[in-house]
Structure 1
Amino acid sequence: MSGVNGEREELAADLERARADFHHLLAATGAEEWGAPTNGTRWTNEELLFHMVFGYMIVQRLLPLMWLFGRLPAGIGTAHARALNAATRPFDVINFYGSRAAARVYNRRRMGRKMDRVVASLQRSLERKSDAELARGMAYPSRWDPYFRNYMTFADLYRYPGRHYDHHRKQLTISGIREA
């Protein structure tokens, strides 16, 4: 594997890896563990599992924005990223409470199917991207997430949810899960 095609294959494999592992986590979670607190977050295991799916859902929404901002003059994207960075505190509050509330809708019975649909959508989208598109990028609000950088390409954006997933997987308090 070399070049963009090799990168595309690696990105697709990482999406599938997380999807399969997520189903393993759902199956491994005992009845008493869904509501248990996690390590280093204020979420329960169920809420954090949803938040891990949400990382993939957000990429679906960011792809069209990247398409648009990647075609605008760089200064517009940089100004947009600065404005979003300035709104980090409200974003963090919305992110926390939004994931908590959304876990009631996409709960343990529905989040596996949601993960399947989102990953399938991202796989189709990734397959349609040209090599030039995968290399196109834009300025990002780097304060919103430790895995966002000041500038990200489409390839970086497809890579992001796996990093987010792996970070939060370590915070789950589910007995008997293997390390990813």
Structure 2
Amino acid sequence: MDRAAIAADLERARVLLHELVDGASGDKLDRRSSGTRWTNEQLLFHMVFGYMVVRRLLVLVRAFSRLPDRAGRGFARVLDATTPAFHQINYLGSCAAATVFDHRRMGRKCDRVIATLQRSLADESEANLRRSMAFPVRWDPFFTETMTLEQVYRYPGKHFDFHRAQLTLG
């Protein structure tokens, strides 16, 4: 496991988020993104939110990896069944949250979340990084049927880069 590569990717996204936010005018932030219903500002928050979600996913993987596999698979099936509601909440939640963590505040939020993930990653044992659980694959194109803690740490960079391509900041 290349812990340094994961840490570097977390830092890369943190720096890039600041560049994107700091370099965008109000008009550009209010523009619709490409392929989503979000504005650029809402999508930028959603990209930060991907890192916020990872903090919760780490807790779930640590817990479910200690249970019988059927418990995790059952939980993932229940979550998959809620996919339409999840996508609606995900959309509306990012719209609402971007009004609080707007372009003036989302950089600081990103800094705090990534700093927490960096500390957590540094403290993880190799055995913990190999722990895994079943995931709801319908929720996100980057979720796989089973994910290790290491894969969860790698997930937000993929999510960030995917959505970065949808920004229309010019």
Q: TM-score, normalised by structure 1?
A: 0.93
**Deviations for 1:83-109, whole angstroms, at most 9, x for unmatched residues?**
100110000000000000000010111
Aligned to 1:154: 149
Aligned to 1:51: 46
Aligned-partner Cα distance in 1 for 2:23–2:142? 27
Aligned-partner Cα distance in 1 for 2:115–2:64? 24
The code of the aligned residue for 1:48 comes to: L
Q: Which runs of no fewer than 5 residues in structure 2 stay unpaired?
A: none
> What RMSD, in angstroms, separates the aligned Cα atoms of the two structures?
0.6
Aligned to 1:122: 117
Aligned-partner Cα distance in 1 for 2:126–2:96? 38
SS of corresponding position for 1:152: strand
Aligned to 2:8: 13
1:73 aligns with 2:91: no
Alpha-carbon offset, residue 30 of structure 1: 1.6
Alpha-carbon offset, residue 31 of structure 1: 2.2
Aligned-partner Cα distance in 1 for 2:148–2:81? 22
1:32 aligns with 2:63: no
SS of corresponding position for 2:147: strand
Aligned to 2:17: 22
**Deviations for 1:97-143, whole angstroms, at most 9, x for unmatched residues?**
00000000101110000000000000000001001111111000011
Aligned-partner Cα distance in 2 for 1:30–1:104? 16
Aligned to 2:95: 100
Alpha-carbon offset, residue 32 of structure 1: 1.0
Which stretch shifts more, 30-39 or 108-117?
Answer: 30-39
Aligned-partner Cα distance in 1 for 2:137–2:23? 34
SS of corresponding position for 1:10: helix
Q: TM-score, normalised by structure 2?
A: 0.99
Aligned-partner Cα distance in 2 for 1:24–1:93? 29
Aligned-partner Cα distance in 1 for 2:75–2:26? 44
**Deviations for 1:144-172, whole angstroms, at most 9, x for unmatched residues?**
00000000000100000000000000000
Aligned to 1:178: none
Aligned to 2:164: 169
Alpha-carbon offset, residue 27 of structure 1: 1.4
Aligned-partner Cα distance in 2 for 1:42–1:74? 37
Name segments (4+ residues, structure 1) moved above 4 Å: none
Alpha-carbon offset, residue 34 of structure 1: 1.1
SS of corresponding position for 1:173: coil
